[in-house]
Amino acid sequence: MCEKLLIFQKIYDLQLWIYPIINRIPKSHRLVLGRNLEEIAISLLVTTIKANKARGHIRTELQLKISDELDSLRILLRLTKDLKFMSIKQYTAGAEKVNEIGRMLQAWMKVL
């Protein structure tokens, strides 16, 4: 149970980290790129809560959804960096956060 709560906190912290990044994306790209970053980050939070409460194969499906969302977030963060809407230092920090959540998710999936 502690692992699940910790992963939720890490995802929540990632959410807080993403918002200032989104605000720095130019308006012409914020509607699509920024909105997708925001939606995926929020979905990660909601899906984690649902997975924490679920049991059996439903939990496994939700955990796989979290994994897919993390992969999507990785790609969008990389795109944000490549378009120079964030620095390499910011990208490295964000990628580290996403990778840590990914490792925690893998451990959570093995436990059950």
Domain coordinates in residue numbering, the chain: 2-111
pTM for the model stands at 0.90
**Long-range contacts made by residues 106-112, C-beta under 8 angstroms, separation at least 24?**
107/3, 108/3, 108/4, 108/7, 108/63, 109/60, 109/63, 111/3, 112/59, 112/60
- Each residue's pLDDT tens digit, 2-45: 455 799 999 999 999 999 999 999 999 999 999 999 999 999 99
Q: Work out the percent of the chain whose per-residue pLDDT is above 70.
A: 96
2-111 CATH: 1.20.1440.60
